[in-house]
Amino acid sequence: MFQSFYPSENVESVYDYDFEARYREGYRAIIFDIDNTIVVHKTDQTPQSLAFLTRLRDIGFGILFLSNGCERRVKSFADPVGMKYLYRAGKPNPKSYQKAMEILGTNADNTLFFGDQLFTDILGANRAGIHSVLVKPISRKEDPHIILKRPFERVVLAFYRRNRRLTQASSMPRS
């Protein structure tokens, strides 16, 4: 029922993810949401985020920030690390994800997407055929329109977790 909202993976934080393993598997680009995915909502780059993004670039990933925010916000975040961005992206429209892959020179098979919202970030990545990774929001500090969606996300996530448990249980060898 909610499968189009289910992420390919659900993790605590981008900062704890094994990007090296994904690079070895053939992934070459990462599309990131910014707010509450990499930094607290509407904040600038931090020493942690700068080091993190530099590490990913050093691994060999192409990186693009995809945001529904205004250009001033997204540009101010991307410029300190010299990375590409798309603003007012219209997520969950898959065309914005496809445009991001076009800019990065990649395709859905070798691109990862990370975001904190099911109804925009993950739905759009899934509709574009990209491996989607849902991260736990960094902070509760969010715009009211996002706060209003969080209870509905919790319902979908409950179904997602139940589905994953059932899938894992059915794939276990029977004795």
In DSSP terms, which residues pair with 64 in a beta bridge? 31, 84
pLDDT of res. 172: 57
Distance of alpha carbon 31 from alpha carbon 27, whole angstroms = 11
For 98, phi then psi, to 5°, come to: -65, -40
d(CA 105, CA 29): 9
Q: Which DSSP symbol is given to 35?
A: B
Q: Are 139 and 36 in contact (CB under 8 A)?
A: yes
Retrieve residue 17's tokens.
Answer: 């993810």
Nearest to 107 by CA among 26, 1, 19, 7: 26
pLDDT in tens, the chain (175 residues): 678 888 999 999 999 999 999 999 999 999 999 988 999 888 889 999 999 999 999 999 999 999 999 999 999 999 999 999 999 999 999 999 999 999 999 999 999 999 998 889 999 999 999 999 999 988 777 676 677 777 677 866 777 788 777 766 666 565 5
pTM for this entry? 0.86
- Residues of 67-83 as b/e, b for ≥16 C-beta within 10 angstroms? bbbeeebbeebbeebeb
Q: Domains in the chain and their CATH numbers?
A: 3-170 (3.40.50.1000)
Spatial separation of the C-alpha atoms in residues 81 and 9, rounded to whole Å: 26
**CA dist., res. 14 & res. 16, Å (int):** 6
Given this model, what pLDDT does residue 29 score?
98
23: nearest Cα among 106, 142, 96, 124: 106
- pLDDT confidence of residue 170: 63
d(CA 150, CA 116): 10
